Structures are given as C-alpha cells and as structure tokens.
C-alpha cells in the first residue's frame, strides 16, 4: 500500500483494532492497520451459539483462522503437545473466542489509571450495557425464529391432514399464510438485529466501521 502514515498498527485483533479505531477518529491522522490473517468471512465467526464457537477451532478449515501454535512436548502429559489457539484473522482472537465477559480485577489498574471509577468502571459499564441490549435483540430474534419454525410445522401438519382427508383445504391455506407471515417477521427481526448490532459496535468503538459491518 503506497503512502505515508502517522501510525502503523500491527495486528487487527482486540487491542490493535481498538487502538487503530481510536487513532483514526482524528481526521488529520493517517493510520495503517496491518493484519496477517484474512477477512472474517466465515459465518461461524459472527454467530454466538456454542456449536459455531466450537467449530471455529475444531473443524478442518480452522487452520485458515488460527496460527496453529502448540506447546513443546509436555513431560507431565506423556510428551503430548497442547494446542494453543490464537486467532489469525480480522478481529484476531476476539473473532474466535468464547464471548465470555469478565471484568478486570480492580487491583490490576492500581497505579496505571488515576480515576478508576470514571475511566475503567465507566468503560466496563458501557460494555455491559451493550451486551444487555444485544441479548434483548437476540432473544427477540430467537422468539421470531421459533414462531416461524412452529408455523412451518403447522403448515406441514395441515397439508398432511388435508392429504389424509381429515381437514379441508381452507385450513391448509390459513396455515400457509400464517407460516409466510412468520417467516417474513423472522427475516425482518434478523435485519433489525443486524442494524442494531452495527450501531452497538460503532458506539463501543470496535475496529470496524458501521459500513464495513453492514456489508457482512
Ligand atoms: C479460543 C479462545 C477463547 C477465548 N475466550 C475468551 C472469552 O470467552 N472471553 C475473553 O474475555 N477472552 C477470551 N479469550 C482471550 C481473548 O480473545 C484474547 O485475550 C484477546 O483477543 C487478545 O487480544 P490481543 O489484541 O492481545 O491479540 P489478538 O486479538 O489475538 O490479536 C493479535 C492479531 O495480530 C495479528 N498478527 C500477529 N502477528 C502479526 C504480524 N506479524 N503482522 C500482522 N498481524 C499480525 C494476529 O493475526 C491477530 O489478528 C479467548 C482466546 C481464545 C484464543
């Protein structure tokens, strides 16, 4: 990439992406963020269910997003080596982690930050507010997706009953319309959640712009 930069940040993981985002908030500065891994295109990276999180590091494509580190053979483990996961992808290890949130221990900030309450605690609370807001949206989306699945099942049942001669065709049409409406509601809920997620991540100061996230 041609040009000169005021700052070069190496690694678009948790720390690098946040630092580059904060620096580039100043329009006077040119900031280059370098990442060794590829784009975070795999859908599993953007899901939060446990199966997707497990797949991130155990599937055959995991070498595409992991550095593949392992310990030396461990004498205490019958000379086995132990894999040490580290994300090699846009977002770094935050793209492959388990999404568990734990506040840093207060003692860890002693001496490093003058005003713990205003700076560190306020940042923790901002993260937690965003997590709560996202959970509400997840729950609404889950509700709409379950309603859609149930309406699909009801449609299948009505069709089978019609074929067996135990219901009339009107019941099938009603079930079809209900299922269609439920599917549309679930799609809309997914879109609403995506838009809100973009807003939340932008507010939090994540490494991606709202436009980049919206294109995913
Ligand atoms: C499997 C797993 C599960 C985890 N679960 C949790 C959890 O649930 N909750 C939690 O709070 N924490 C969790 N963590 C820890 C957390 O994700 C990390 O502590 C955090 O992401 C580290 O941030 P970082 O910026 O130091 O490094 P990273 O986010 O790993 O970023 C480093 C980036 O630098 C890039 N890079 C390295 N060398 C170069 C180079 N020479 N040139 C260009 N780019 C380079 C890497 O590819 C990577 O993208 C987990 C970590 C892993 C691996």
Ligand 1 closest atom vs CA 100: 8
Which of residues 197 and 30 earns the better pLDDT score? 30
What is the Å distance from ligand 1's center to 78 Cα? 29
pLDDT band at 210 (very low <50, low <70, confident <90, very high): very low
| Ligand 1, atom 35: closest residue by C-alpha | 11
Q: Are residues 31 and 54 in the same domain?
A: no
Report which ligand 1 atom has the smallest distance to the Cα of 37: 47
Given 100, 120, 153, the domain boundary residue is 100
> What is the DSSP secondary-structure string of 111-162?
TT-S-IIIIIIHHHHHHHHHHHHHHHHHHHHHHHHHHHHHHHHHHHHHHHHH
Q: Is the pLDDT of residue 122 over 80?
A: yes
Indicate whether 131 and 207 sit together in one domain.
yes
Do 144 and 207 belong to one domain? yes
Among 54, 73, 100, residue at a domain's last position: 100
Print the domain residue range for 181.
105-216
Across the range 95-123, mean pLDDT stands at: 84
The rounded Å distance from CA 76 to ligand 1 centre is 27
Q: pTM for this structure?
A: 0.69
- Do 59 and 161 fall within a single domain? no
Q: Confirm or reject: Cβ of 14 under 6 Å from ligand 1.
A: yes
Q: Does residue 209 share a domain with residue 149? A: yes
* Ligand 1 atom at minimum distance from 15 CA: 25
Averaged pLDDT for residues 157-167: 95
Task: Judge if 215 and 133 occupy the same domain.
Answer: yes
Give the model's confidence band at 120: pLDDT under 50 very low, under 70 low, under 90 confident, else very high: confident
| Domain count across the chain | 3
What distance in angstroms lies between residue 97's CA and the mean position of ligand 1's atoms? 8
Q: Can you say how many angstroms the Cα of residue 16 is from the centroid of all Cα atoms in its chain?
A: 17
The answer to whether residues 119 and 147 belong to one domain is yes
pLDDT band at 203 (very low <50, low <70, confident <90, very high): low
pLDDT over 80 (residue 206): no
Residue 76 and residue 145 in one domain: no
Would you say the CB of residue 98 lies under 6 angstroms from ligand 1? yes
Q: Are residues 118 and 183 in the same domain?
A: yes
Using left for φ > 0, alpha for ψ between -120 and 50, and beta otherwise, residue 82 falls in: beta
Report how far residue 143's alpha carbon sits from residue 207's, in angstroms, rounded to the nearest whole number: 30
> Does residue 211 have a pLDDT over 50?
no
Which is the closest atom of ligand 1 to the Cα of 57? 1
Note whether 129 and 216 are same-domain residues: yes
The last residue of a domain, from among 71, 100, 129: 100
């Amino acid at each position: 990439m041609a040009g000169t930069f005021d700052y070069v940040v190496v690694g678009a993981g948790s720390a690098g992406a946040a630092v580059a985002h904060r620096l580039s908030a100043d329009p006077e500065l040119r900031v280059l963020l370098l990442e060794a891994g590829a784009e975070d295109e795999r859908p599993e990276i953007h899901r939060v269910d446990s199966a997707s999180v497990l797949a991130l590091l155990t599937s055959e494509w995991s070498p595409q997003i992991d550095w593949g580190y392992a310990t030396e053979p461990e004498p205490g483990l019958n000379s086995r080596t132990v894999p040490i996961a580290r994300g090699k992808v846009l977002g770094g290890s935050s793209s492959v982690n388990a999404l568990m949130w734990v506040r840093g221990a207060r003692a860890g900030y002693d001496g490093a930050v003058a005003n713990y309450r205003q700076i560190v605690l306020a940042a923790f609370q901002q993260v937690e507010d965003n997590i709560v807001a996202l959970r509400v949206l997840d729950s609404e989306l889950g509700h709409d997706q379950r309603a859609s699945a149930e309406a699909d099942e009801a449609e299948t049942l009505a069709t089978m009953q019609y074929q067996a001669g135990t219901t009339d065709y009107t019941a099938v049409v009603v079930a079809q319309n209900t299922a269609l409406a439920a599917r549309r509601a679930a799609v809309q809920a997914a879109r609403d959640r995506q838009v809100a997620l973009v807003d939340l991540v932008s507010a939090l100061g994540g490494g991606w712009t709202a436009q980049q996230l919206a294109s995913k």
